[in-house]
Amino acid sequence: MHHIRIAENAGFCFGVRRATGMLEEALKNKSEADRVYTLGHIIHNEVYLDDVTSRGAECLAYSDLDRVLCDVQSGQRVTVVIRAHGELREVVELLEAAAAKYPNFTLLNGTCPYVEKVRRIARENSGEGKVFMLVGAAEHPEVQGIMSCADGEGLTFKDSRELEEFTKSEKAAEFGKFTISMAAQTTQKLSEWKKSLEIIKKVYTNPLIFDTICSVTEKRQTEARTLASESDIMLVIGSDESSNSRKLYEVTREECPTVYFIGSADELPNIQIPQGAKLSITAGASTPDSVIQEVFRKMNEQMNENFAEMLEASMKTLNPGDVVEGIVTAVSAGEIQLDLGYKTTGVIAYDKATTDPQAKLEALFHIGDTVKAKVIKVSDIDGIATLDKTRIDSDKNWDKIVAAAESGEILEGKIVEAVKGGVIINIDSVKVFIPASLTGVPKDVELQTIVGTVQKVKIIEIKADRKKAYASIKAVLREERRAKEEAFWASIEVGQEFDGEVRSLTSYGAFVDLGGVDGMVHNTELSWRRIKSPAEVVSVGDKIHVFVKDVDVERKRISLGYKTDAMNPWNIFTNKYAEGDVAEVKIVSLVPFGAFAEIVAGIDGLIHISQIADHKIAKSADVLEVGQIVNAKITAIDNEAHKVSLSIRALLEEAAAEEEAEIVAEAAEVADAE
């Protein structure tokens, strides 16, 4: 009896599946007149490429871009898909600019999140005083795209041997004064990467090491090595142009005496397999499942085994751990039932159907839906199989969580539970823990307040061995705040007006929150009068209207103005009074030569000692006291010096004259009467 095993991690990886999914969706929505292009071949597989080409996908070279963009300018509807390997930075920037400018142009960036991470590392760890190194094939599109993101000095090494040769050169010695960073092509052999690390650490002090080998690639290579060590014959399916496929071939050859590298079932050799031999199949990340299954089927034919009969026999019984697919036949508040195509009915309880305690099964599932679940328990007597859908959902979406941790992608989910030390967020059926300190909820507020809310998070830590993930709401808020600040500093200019809130006071002014960024109003800008403290004018929490007087973007400083001409006490005074008017004033100080009186807030007038009474007085205190309210006549206004002269005497004399005039008038009336 021969044994054939297929590697669990064979075929499309997460990144390739994501990029091809974008292409499939674009082809699905394509009209007759639309054009759908890929930059280079979307994957290294002729069978798949022939299929998508027959459905309208066209492959572009760099030389075709000008022509395509001219078509876009003419109104042609165009979609361009960037493959998982990524593209040259200048090409991506060109296409992003076109997508922003032309609504009839769609750019679908299928760059693998793992690759995007390496591109970001190259950007952030290159430039002046820095050297970025990458262990990978210099001619590979992924490596070319990554290195295009590096500024200044950037070096690639195809393997540890080439790196070691470089470390003996004069140039390597010159780099000793720079910050050295090193990463790996995502599909690099783990053994080569480890050798490279040993070499680089011997030459440079404290190099920055970034472990960027894709976890899926690492699993694929580790599994392939294990299978090869346990097999008599090994089949590796993939394209010779595929880096990860070639590395699988190299890994398996180290462990298995007979290894065949094929592109499809058509290339399968006529292998003479001894009785009882063990044969295993693995495949590169660009190999479709259909190709793997076709190779498997043909191998079985060669080995005179009826695969269809074996498959049917394996499905006659259900066992715990099996993954099954069934049709929903009934839905209630507490469970759903499936027709599994067996004599057994599948039952999924509420908590095994969804991880959201507030969800309703009747809203999630409908009769006729197809549902995939894992078998937990089988009762042949009752004819019931207890199933768990959440395990399938969790397994399916775990890779998405892992990829988000690597790429920094922001995910969205629902807070479903408050637990000790934090809360649980459900992200596509994967439960992720958020520590209380990273929820953004103040310490004096119950975590229960955010249960049931939808939140955006960043994955900050992955524990792959236990399939546990930790997330942060605060990290997203921090990024949003940073983006908001960047937008603010990019648009701020002198003269802009804001309605802000006084955030704090110092001895020299008030800091005002303009919406995430603070500006400072100096004491001299708070009031037209001289003040000792800003508290004389504003308080913390006050809402005030301010305007920008000066901006220092580099030092992140904003000088604000608060006082306006309308608030100028002199303007208020001159708009209200003129020479000859009578004002009710308040005595604010007594001096040897007279008294000062407040006419309006911020404007005082002088009442000379000769103008205080209608007779000679020794000092002003003989008639007036501080705080006293009196009427005075405005006798002079000096607009240049902002000075006002007042007189009480003038009013007294006018009153006396009026009284005398009345007496004379009365006397005349009496004389006339006699």
The fold of the 492-567 domain, in CATH, is OB fold (Dihydrolipoamide Acetyltransferase, E2P) (2.40.50)
> Three-state secondary structure along 492-540?
CCCCCEEEEEEEEECCCEEEEECCCCEEEEEHHHHCCCCCCCHHHCCCC
Helices 389-407 and 14-28, packing angle to 10 deg:
100
CB-count exposure of residue 379 (10 Å: 0-12, 13-18, 19+): exposed
Q: Is the pLDDT of residue 470 over 90?
A: yes
- What share of the chain in percent tops pLDDT 90? 50
Three-class HEC string of 84-121: CCCCCHHHHHHHHHHHHHCCCEEEEECCCHHHHHHHHH
> What is the distance between the alpha carbons of residues 107 and 116, in angstroms, rounded to a whole number?
16
pLDDT the model gives residue 556: 87
Gap between the Cα atoms of 49 and 83, Å rounded: 13
Q: What is the residue whose two structure tokens read 């920008």?
A: 548
Task: Return the H-helix or E-strand segment holding 612.
Answer: none
Give percent above pLDDT 70 in the chain.
95
| Class of the domain covering 114-213 | alpha beta
pLDDT of 3: 66
Pairing of β 384-388 and β 345-349: parallel
Rg of the chain over Cα atoms, rounded to whole angstroms, equals: 41
The reply to whether 114-213 and 323-392 are identical in fold is no
CA distance 403 to 430: 14
> Which tens digit of pLDDT belongs to each residue from 383-433?
788 999 988 877 778 888 888 998 989 999 999 999 999 999 998 878 899
- Which region among 289-303, 461-475, 565-579 has the lowest average model confidence (pLDDT)? 289-303
Structural element, H or E, at residue 408: none
Confidence of residue 521 (pLDDT cuts 50, 70, 90): very high
How high is the pLDDT of residue 275? 65
pLDDT of residue 674: 63
Select which of 32, 87, 90, 142 is catalytic.
Answer: 142
For residue 314, the model assigns a pLDDT of 40
Query: Do 433 and 400 touch, CB atoms closer than 8 A?
Result: no
Contact partners, residue 614, CB within 8 Å, separation at least 6:
649, 652, 653, 656
Q: Is the pLDDT of residue 301 over 50?
A: yes
pLDDT of residue 365: 93
The reported pLDDT for the residue numbered 274 is: 67
**Residue 309 pLDDT > 60, yes or no?**
no
Phi, psi of 519 (to 5 degrees): -125, 160
Tell whether the model's pLDDT for residue 305 goes beyond 70: no
Whether the pLDDT of residue 342 is over 70: the answer is no
| Residue 473 in this model has a pLDDT that exceeds 90 | yes
Phi, psi of 498 (to 5 degrees): -140, 150
- The arrangement of secondary structure in 218-314, i.e. its CATH architecture, is 3-Layer(aba) Sandwich (3.40)
User: Which CATH number is 323-392 given?
Assistant: 2.40.50.140
Q: Is residue 656's pLDDT more than 90? A: no
In this structure, are residues 88 and 114 in contact, taking their beta carbons and an 8 Å threshold? Answer: no
* Span 503-517, pLDDT tens digits: 999 989 999 999 888
Work out the pLDDT band at 661, boundaries 50, 70, 90.
Answer: confident
Task: Describe the strand order of the beta sheet including 179-184 as a list of residue ranges.
Answer: 154-157, 130-135, 179-184, 208-209
The pLDDT, as a whole number, for residue 311 is 39
Neighbours of 556 (CB within 10 A): 11
What is the mean pLDDT of the segment spanning 639-655? 91
Q: Could you tell me which of 175, 193, 174 has the C-alpha nearest to residue 183?
A: 193
226/210 Cα distance (integer angstroms): 26
The one-letter amino acid code at 599 reads: I
- 8 noted as active-site residue: no
Q: Options 3.30.930.10, 2.40.30.10, 2.60.120.380, 2.40.50.140; which CATH number does 408-478 get?
A: 2.40.50.140
pLDDT of 114 reads: 86
- Mean pLDDT lowest among 279-283, 285-289, 636-640, 666-670: 666-670
Token pair for residue 307?
């695969």
Taking the domain 569-655, which CATH number applies?
2.40.50.140
The residue among 219 and 597 whose pLDDT is bigger is 597
pLDDT above 70 for 303: no
The pLDDT of residue 432 is 92
Quote the mean pLDDT of the chain: 88
Label the pairing between strands 468-472 and 208-209.
Answer: unpaired
Q: Give the start-to-end residue ranges of the domains of the chain.
A: 114-213, 218-314, 323-392, 408-478, 492-567, 569-655
pLDDT digits (tens, 9 = 90+) for 155-206: 999 999 999 999 999 888 888 889 999 999 988 888 889 999 999 999 998 8
Sheet strands side by side (includes 233-237): 3-6, 278-283, 233-237, 258-262
What are 269's two structure tokens?
Answer: 């050799």
Q: Which pTM does this prediction carry?
A: 0.43
Joined together, the tokens standing for residue 620 give 């002003």
Per-residue pLDDT tens over the stretch 46-98: 878 888 999 999 999 988 999 999 999 999 999 999 999 999 999 999 999 99
Question: End-to-end CA distance of the chain, in Å?
Answer: 157
Q: What pLDDT shows up at residue 308?
A: 41
d(C-alpha 15, C-alpha 22), whole Å: 11
Angle, nearest 10°, between helix axes 46-54 and 289-302? 130
Residue 618 or 312, more confident: 618
Calculate the CA 56 to chain-centre distance.
34
